[in-house]
Structure 1
Amino acid sequence: MSSTGVNGGATKPRQRKATKEAVPVEQVEEVKVHSSTTGEDEPSLETLEKIFAPLLFTVLAFMTRMYKIGVSDIVTWDEAHFGKFGSHYLKREFYFDVHPPLGKMLVGLSGYLCGYNGSFEFKSGEKYPEEVNYTFMRVFNATFGALCVPIAYYTAKSLRFSTAATWLVTLMVLCENSYATISRFILLDSMLMFFTFTTFLGLAKLHTYRNQQFSKGWYFWMTFTGVNIGCVTSVKWVGMLTTALVGIYTIQELWEKFGDLRMPFTTYMKHWAVRVVCLIVIPMAIYMLSFKVHFLILENSGPGDAQMSSLFQANLKNSPLTKGPLDVAMGSKVTIKNMGYGGGLLHSHVQTYPEGSEQQQVTCYHHKDTNNDWVFIPIRTDPPYDHKGDIRYVSSGDRVRLIHDMTGRNLHTHKIAAPVTKHQWEVSCYGNDTIGDEKDNWIVEVVKDTHKDGKVHTLTSTLRFRNEPLGCYLRAANVALPQWGFKQVEVTCAPDTVVWDRFTHWNIEQHTNDRLPPADTRSYRSPFLRDFVHLNVAMMTSNNALVPDPDKRDDLASRPWQWPLLNVGLRMCGWGDESVKYYLLGNPVVVWGSTLSVVVLALLTFVYICRWRRQYKDMTGEQVEYYVYSGIYPALGWALHYFPFILMARVTYVHHYLPALYFAIMTFGFVFDYVTSTLMSGRAKKYGRPVAYLAMYAVVVGLFWEFSPISFGMTGSHEQYGYLNWLSTWTI
Structure 2
Amino acid sequence: MAESEKLEEKGLAQPMAAPLVNTKVKWWLRFEGILSPLAYTTLGLCLRFHDIEKNNGVVWDEAHFGKFGSYYIKHEFYHDVHPPLGKMLVALTEWLAGFDGDFDFDSNKVYPENVNYKLMRQMNAFFGVLCCPLAYWTAKNMGFNLLTTHLVALMITLEHSYITISKFILLDSMLLFFTISTFACMVKLYTLRKQAFTKPWSLWMWLTGVSIGCVCSVKWVGLFVTVVVGFYTILELFIMRFDSTMSKYDYMRHWMIRVLNLIVSPFLIYLFCFMIHFTLLYKSGTGDAATNTLFQINLEGNEIYSGPRTVVFGSHISIRSHGLSPNLLHSHVQTYPEGSNQNQVTGYGFADENNVWQVRFSRSSGVVWNENATSSDKLVPITDGTEIRLFHKEQEINLHSHEIPSHVSKGNFEVSGYGSESIGDSKDDWVVEIVRQLDSADATYPKEEYDVLHPLSTFFRLRHKDLGCYLTSTGFSYPAWGFQQAEIVCKYSWSKHDKSTWWNVEEHWNENLDINADYVPPKSKFWTDFVMINFAMASSNNALVEDGDKYDNLASKAWEWPTLHKGLRMCTWGVDNTRYYLMGSPFNTWLSTVSLVVFLIIMAKLLYQWRRQTVAITEDQFWSLTIQGVMPFTAWGTHYMPFVTMGRVTYVHHYLPALYFAVLVFGFVVDYLLRCSKKLIKYAVYLILFSGCISCYIYFSPMCQGMTGMWTNYLYLQWFKPWDIA
Pick aligned residue for 1:308 from 283, 287, 291 = 291
Partners of 1:521 and 1:170 lie apart in 2 by 62
Pick aligned residue for 1:503 from 496, 500, 503 = 500
**C-alpha deviation, 1:613, in angstroms:** 0.5
| Amino acid of the structure 2 residue aligned with 1:638 | W
Tell whether 2:420 aligns with 1:432. yes
Aligned pairs for 1:36-75 within 5 A: 42-43=25-26, 45-46=28-29, 48-75=31-58
Does structure 1 conserve the Cα–Cα contact (< 8 Å) formed by 2:7 and 2:13?
no
Aligned to 1:379: 362
With structure 2 as the length reference, what TM-score do the two structures score?
A: 0.93
Pick aligned residue for 1:208 from 170, 191, 198 = 191
Aligned pairs for 1:613-624 within 5 A: 613-617=611-615, 619-624=617-622
C-alpha distance after superposition, 1:485-538 (max 9, x if no partner): 111112122256553332222111222334331364434022211211121122
| Amino acid of the structure 1 residue aligned with 2:530 | F
Tell whether 2:324 aligns with 1:341. yes
Tell whether 2:409 aligns with 1:421. yes
| Amino acid of the structure 1 residue aligned with 2:42 | V
| Amino acid of the structure 2 residue aligned with 1:441 | D
Partners of 2:410 and 2:372 lie apart in 1 by 40
Aligned pairs for 1:126-525 within 5 A: 126-321=109-304, 323-379=306-362, 381-382=366-367, 384-385=370-371, 389-390=375-376, 391-421=379-409, 423-450=411-438, 452-495=449-492, 498-514=495-511, 515-518=513-516, 520-525=518-523
**C-alpha deviation, 1:550, in angstroms:** 2.2
Tell whether 2:568 aligns with 1:570. yes
Q: Equivalent residue of 1:320, what SS?
A: coil
Does structure 2 conserve the Cα–Cα contact (< 8 Å) formed by 1:27 and 1:677?
no
Aligned to 2:74: 91
Bigger drift between 604-613 and 412-421 goes to 412-421
Bigger drift between 610-619 and 599-608 goes to 610-619
Q: 1:453 to 1:219 in 2, by over 3 A?
A: closer
Aligned pairs for 1:24-39 within 5 A: 25=13, 27=15, 29=17
Q: Equivalent residue of 1:154, what SS?
A: helix
C-alpha distance after superposition, 1:315-363 (max 9, x if no partner): 2122233743332223333221111113321112222222222222111
Does structure 1 conserve the Cα–Cα contact (< 8 Å) formed by 2:319 and 2:505?
yes
Q: 1:691 to 1:28 in 2, by over 3 A?
A: farther
Q: Equivalent residue of 1:477, what SS?
A: strand
Does structure 2 conserve the Cα–Cα contact (< 8 Å) formed by 1:370 and 1:406?
yes
**C-alpha deviation, 1:121, in angstroms:** 1.4
Does structure 1 conserve the Cα–Cα contact (< 8 Å) formed by 2:14 and 2:621?
no
**C-alpha deviation, 1:430, in angstroms:** 2.5
C-alpha distance after superposition, 1:183-220 (max 9, x if no partner): 11111000001111111111111111111111111111
May I ask how many residue pairs the two structures share in their alignment? Answer: 710
Q: 1:404 to 1:576 in 2, by over 3 A?
A: farther
Tell whether 2:567 aligns with 1:579. no
Pick aligned residue for 1:652 from 644, 650, 660 = 650
With structure 1 as the length reference, what TM-score do the two structures score?
A: 0.92
Q: 1:378 to 1:72 in 2, by over 3 A?
A: same
**C-alpha deviation, 1:393, in angstroms:** 2.0
Which structure 1 segments of 5+ residues have no match?
A: 1-8
| Amino acid of the structure 2 residue aligned with 1:554 | D
Q: 1:387 to 1:297 in 2, by over 3 A?
A: farther
Aligned to 2:443: none
C-alpha distance after superposition, 1:202-244 (max 9, x if no partner): 1111111111111111111111111111100000111111111
Moved segments of 4+, more than 6 Å: 32-35
**C-alpha deviation, 1:153, in angstroms:** 0.8
Partners of 2:4 and 2:45 lie apart in 1 by 53
Does structure 1 conserve the Cα–Cα contact (< 8 Å) formed by 2:399 and 2:418?
yes
Partners of 2:541 and 2:461 lie apart in 1 by 28
| Amino acid of the structure 2 residue aligned with 1:494 | K
Does structure 1 conserve the Cα–Cα contact (< 8 Å) formed by 2:311 and 2:454?
yes
State the percentage of identical aligned residues.
Answer: 45
**C-alpha deviation, 1:180, in angstroms:** 0.4
| Amino acid of the structure 2 residue aligned with 1:415 | E
| Amino acid of the structure 1 residue aligned with 2:715 | G
Aligned to 1:691: 684
Aligned pairs for 1:591-602 within 5 A: 591-602=589-600
| Amino acid of the structure 2 residue aligned with 1:512 | W
**C-alpha deviation, 1:386, in angstroms:** 5.2
CA RMSD of aligned residues (A): 2.4
Pick aligned residue for 1:661 from 656, 659, 662 = 659
**C-alpha deviation, 1:18, in angstroms:** 4.5
Q: Equivalent residue of 2:415, what SS?
A: strand
Bigger drift between 92-101 and 260-269 goes to 260-269
Pick aligned residue for 1:603 from 597, 601, 604 = 601
Q: 1:387 to 1:725 in 2, by over 3 A?
A: farther
Bigger drift between 508-517 and 269-278 goes to 508-517
Aligned to 2:634: 636
| Amino acid of the structure 2 residue aligned with 1:597 | S
Q: Equivalent residue of 1:645, what SS?
A: helix
Which structure 2 segments of 5+ residues have no match?
A: 439-447
Q: Equivalent residue of 2:675, what SS?
A: helix
Does structure 1 conserve the Cα–Cα contact (< 8 Å) formed by 2:306 and 2:455?
no
| Amino acid of the structure 2 residue aligned with 1:361 | Q
Partners of 1:113 and 1:677 lie apart in 2 by 49
**C-alpha deviation, 1:396, in angstroms:** 1.9
